[in-house]
A and B are shown apart, each in its own frame.
Chain A
Amino acid sequence: MQDQKHALSFQDIILALHRFWARQGCVILQPYDMEMGAGTFHPATTLRSLGPKPWAAAYVQPSRRPSDGRYGENPNRLQHYYQYQVIMKPSPAEAQELLLASYREIGLDPLRHDFRFVEDDWESPTLGAWGLGWEIWCDGMEVGQFTYFQQVGGIAVDVPSFEMTYGLERLAMYVQGVENVYSLRFNDAEGPRALSYGDVFLRAEKDYSAHNFEVADTDMLMRHFGDAETECGALVGRGLAQPAYDQCIKASHLFNLLDARGVISVTERAAYIGRVRALAKACAEAWVAGEKEHG
C-alpha cells in the first residue's frame, strides 16, 4: 500500500467524498435524524427515488445493526457504523466512471489496485425494493455497493436511479492499512488532538451491545412497534408521506432490536418483515400521489 502513514484520516475520507460528489451536482445532506439499518432508508433515497423528478444527493448515514454488536471485541464488526450514500436520478451514463474517480480521490489508484464489478442483486425485503448492480471489489475487498434501482416500496420506479453505498469504516481500514477498526485514525494523527476510532466509539459499542442483546425492554419495544404502525397508517391517511415514513423507519429499527433480543421466532420474523414492508409500500404510494399532485 502506498505510504499508508499519509493516507487520509477517517474524517478526511468523508470530506473528500463530500467535495467530490458536490462537484457532480449532488446536494450534500446531513444524516437523517432517526435510527436506521442502512443509508438506503434515508428518505432522500427511498422517497426521492420515486416519481419522475430529477434528484441527486450525497450524505453520511449512521447505520444501526443491533445484531452485529460484539461488545467492542471484534475488530471488524460494529452495531453502529457509517455508510456514505450517493443517489442520482436519473442514473448518469457515466456512473461507473464517477464511482471509480471517487476512489481515486481517496487514494485508491485503479492502475495499482484490482478493481472489479462483481454481480450483486440488491434486495431489501423490508423496503419492498430491488435493483441490479455490483459489489465493488478492490484487491478482493468489498469497498462498496452499486445499484440501479428498479423498484422501491413495491412500486416500479419511473426513472431508475443510481445508488452507491460505501461502508466507510471498511474502506478507511483499507486505505489506512489497519486491521482493527478501533485503530483507525479518525482525525489527523499528527495534529494537536489525535483521536482513534476507538477513542470515539469503543465505549458506545460496549454499552449498546449490552442494550441490544440484554437490556432493551422487549415489552416496551413491541408496544412501540404497534404504535408506530398505527401512527404510520393514520398519517398515510392524511397524505403526509414523509412523517408517515418516519414511523415506518421507526418500526423497522424496533423490529431489528427485537430480533437482536432474540424474542422473534423464525415464523414471526417473516410476519414482522411483511408488516414493515406494508408500511413502506403505503408511504411510497402516498409519496408518489403527492408528487403527482404538486406537479
Chain B
Amino acid sequence: MAEFFLELFSEEIPARMQAAAAEQLAKLVGAQLAPLSPRDVVAFGAARRIAVTATIAAEVPASASEVRGPKLAAPPQALEGFLRKNGAAREDLVEEDGYFLLRRNLPSRPAGELIAGEFAQALAGFGWPKSMRWGQSGAFTWVRPLRRVVCLLDGAVVPFTLGPVSSGDESEGHRFLAPGAFRVNSAAQWREELRARFVIVDADERRERIRAGLRAAAEDKGLGVAEDAGLLDEVAGLVEWPVCLIGAIDPGQMALPPEVRELSMKVNQRYFATRDAAGTPAPYFAFVANIAANDGGAAIIAGNERVLRARLADAEHFWAQDRKQRLESWLPKLDAVTFHAKLGTQHARAGRIEALAREIALALGADAAAADAAARAGLLCKADLVSGMVGEFPELQGIMGGYYAEASGEGDAIAGAIRTHYQPKGPSDEVPSGVVSAAVALADKIDTLREFFRIGETPTGSGDPFALRRAALGVIRIVLETGLRLNLMPLVGAEVFDFLIERLRVKLRGEGKRFDVLNAVLDAARDDDLTRLIARTEALGAFLASEDGANLLAAYRRSTNILRIEDAKDGPHEGTIDPGLLAEPAEIALADALEAVGLEARRRLEDEDFAGAMRGFAALRAPVDAFFDHVTVNAAGAELRRNRLRLLARLRDVMHRVADFSKLEG
C-alpha cells in the first residue's frame, strides 16, 4: 500500500465553493483510482487550496480480459471495425463457437501511471461552478489561477501537467505570515508544516477555532455571541489563520433597529452580533481576521470600527428619511413597481391582498374590527418595497414595514401583521399567530399561488422561479401549526388546492410520516379543512399502528378480495342485508356490530372525534375474526351467499366512511 497525496494550490477560492470542491475531489479519487482500491480518503478545502489524501495499492493488479467480436461469418468490415476499436491485430484473435474472441492478459500497472494518466485527465475537467482562463492558462480553466500542484506517491513526485502547471512537491503557507515555498513529503508532514506556517487546513478545525475564539473574545466583555451557523461556515472559508477580535459599535447607532444593524454587519461585513447576559443586543461586534498582526490587532480593530460606523451611518440616513413619511403615502409609488409583467404592479397586488385578507379574517371568525385591521395590513404590507432601507437591504422587507407602520400610528395589530406577513420564510422560521397576522400572511401567499397558477406559471420539475412551493408550504404550516379552521377550496380553487395537497404529501414524507394514510383519508372525503384532514390522518395512522388496526386492515383486505372475485361473477353485491337470512351466530354478531359501529362512527365523525371513531372500529375485530373463522361466505344457497357478500360490502362501506383503506400500503 502507498500514501497518495494531492494538493491543488490556487489564488483565493470563493468560500461558498470550498466544501463542495473538497467533496468532489474525494469522489474523483474514489472513482478514478478505483483499480487501486483507495481507502481512508480525506479531502480538505481552504481559501487557497483543495487537497486529498488516501491509501492506495502500489499497482493496478494484472488481469485477464475477454472481448467477443463479430461472427466468423460476418462481413470483413465488421472485423476491421472490431480490431480498430480494440487496437488489436488479426493474429491476436482466436476463433471459438463461431465467433472471434480477443483474449488479453493485462499486465500489472504502477499506480503512478494511472494517476499521471487517467486521473490527471479527469482532474482537468474538474467541475467548478464558475471557472476562468488567465494569462498563462491557454484553454485550461480553473476556479481562479492555479499556481501549484503537489502530487506525491509515498513522498515521491508523480509527474504530470495540469493546464500550465507541472506537478511537484512544493506548497506554500500563509500569504503574509510565512511567504515562500516549502517541500512536502507526506500528508501528515504537510498538515503540520502548514500549521507552523499559519494555515489551518482542516475546515472543521478552523470552524471550531473560530467558534471558540469568538466566544472567548466576547466573554472578555462579559458578552455572548449570537449564533449564526451559515456565517460561521462562510468566515471559516475566508481565512486560513483565524484570529478573533472584538470591536465597539458607536453607542448612538444602537438606536437603529437591531435587524437593520445586524443585517448590515452580517451581509456587508461578516461580523457577528453580541448579546448581553439578558440576551439584548450589545454595543460590540465580533469578527475574524486572517492574521496575527504585529500590533496585536489594534489597527485592524480601529479600521473595522470605522468601516462599520460608515455603513451604519448610511442605514441611519435611510431610517431617518423613511420615517419622515407615513407608510400609506408610499402606496402610489407602488404603481411604478412591476410585480410580474402579466400580473400588474405591486399596487394592484396590494389591493388584492387587502380584499383577500379581509375575506380570510372573516372566514376565521374575526370580528369587524379585526377584519378591518387585516384588510388595512394587507393593503400596506408591500409599501415598504419603495422605502430607502428596503431598497438598500431587500432582506428587511416586511420588518421595515412593521417599524414604519408603528411610526405611522397604524397600531400594533397592523404593524405586527405587516412585520410577519412573509413568514414562514424557511423551514425553521416561525409562523405568524393571531387572526389578523395569520389572515394577512395567508392572503399574501394565496394571492401569489392563485395568480401564478392563473397565468400558467406553475412549478416544473426543474424550477420554481416564483417560489410557489414555499408559498404552498407556508399556507400549510400557518393553518396546521396554529390549528386554523378554514375551508380552502373557495379561497384557492381546485387546481391550487391539488397543489397544496401535493405539497402536504411531500411535507409528511419529509417528516417520515405515511402519506398513503393521507391519500386514504382524502379519497374517503375530499376535505379542504387541512386541520381536520390531518386530525383524521393522524387518528387513522395511530389506529393502523395498533394491533387492532393491523388486524382489521387484514380483514378488510380479505373482504375486498372476496368481493372483487365474486363481484366479477355476478356483482355488485350491494344492498340491504336481510336479517332473516342471517343463520350462523357469527354472522348475526357481525351484522349487529356493523350496525352499532356504523352509527357510532357517523356520530363521532360529525363531532370530529376521529380517535373515537377509530376506537369504535376496534370493536369490529372480534366479530370479523369470528365471522371468517366460522362462516363460509360462498355458501351453497344463492340467497345465503348473496346476503353474506352484502355483509362484507357493508363492512367495506362502513370503513370507507373514514378512509379508503385500499389506498394503504404495506
Contact surface of A with B, Cβ cutoff 8 Å: 1-2, 74-76, 89-93, 96, 110-119, 121, 131-134, 138-141, 148, 150, 159-162, 174, 177, 179, 265-267
Contacts and interface: CB of A to CB of B under 8 A. Distances in A.
Interface string B130-153: 111111110000011101000000
B16 interface: yes
Interface stretch (B76-84, B305-313, B564-572): B305-313
Contacts of A118: 238
Given A93-B145, A132-B143, A266-B338, 9 more contacts: A90-B136, A93-B147, A110-B291, A116-B238, A140-B303, A140-B304, A141-B303, A160-B135, A267-B338
A255 to B, nearest CB: 18
A22 B195 CA distance: 38
16 contacts: A90-B134, A93-B145, A110-B176, A110-B291, A111-B176, A114-B290, A114-B300, A117-B12, A140-B271, A140-B303, A148-B145, A161-B135, A174-B306, A179-B309, A179-B310, A267-B338
Contacts of A119: 12, 14-16
Interface of B: 11-12, 14-16, 130-137, 143-145, 147, 175-177, 238-239, 269, 271, 287, 289-291, 293-295, 299-300, 302-304, 306-310, 313-314, 317, 336-338
**What are the 5 closest A-B residue pairs judged by CB atoms, nearest first?**
A139-B303, A90-B135, A119-B14, A91-B135, A117-B12
A239 B130 CA distance: 35
B303 A131 contact: no
A272 to B, nearest CB: 16
B304 A113 contact: no
A116 B176 CA distance: 11
A159 B132 CA distance: 11
B299 A160 contact: no
A138 B338 CA distance: 39
Contacts of A91: 134-135, 145
A75 B131 CA distance: 38
A131 B132 contact: yes
B287 A92 contact: no
Contact of A112 (B293, B314, B338): B293
Given A132-B132, A160-B133, A140 B294 contact: no
B256 to A, nearest CB: 17
Contacts of B300: 112-114, 139
Contacts of A139: 299-300, 302-304, 307
A9 B86 CA distance: 73
A266 B337 contact: yes
A159 B300 CA distance: 37
A271 B286 CA distance: 44
A2 B135 contact: no
A129 to B, nearest CB: 13
B139 to A, nearest CB: 11
A179 B12 CA distance: 30
Contacts of A179: 306, 309-310
A265 B336 contact: yes
A294 B289 CA distance: 51
A121 B134 contact: no
A288 B15 CA distance: 36
B269 A140 contact: yes
B294 A112 contact: yes
Contact of A159 (B135, B239, B303, B336): B135
Contacts of B302: 1, 139
A179 B131 CA distance: 38
A132 B10 CA distance: 14
A57 B378 CA distance: 57
A118 B302 CA distance: 20
A75 B309 CA distance: 12
B287 A140 contact: yes
B336 A266 contact: yes
A140 B307 contact: yes
A114 B15 CA distance: 17
Contacts of B307: 139-141
Contacts of A117: 11-12
B293 A113 contact: yes
Contacts of B16: 119
Given A114-B291, A140-B303, A141-B303, A162 B135 contact: yes
A248 B222 CA distance: 59
A74 B176 contact: no
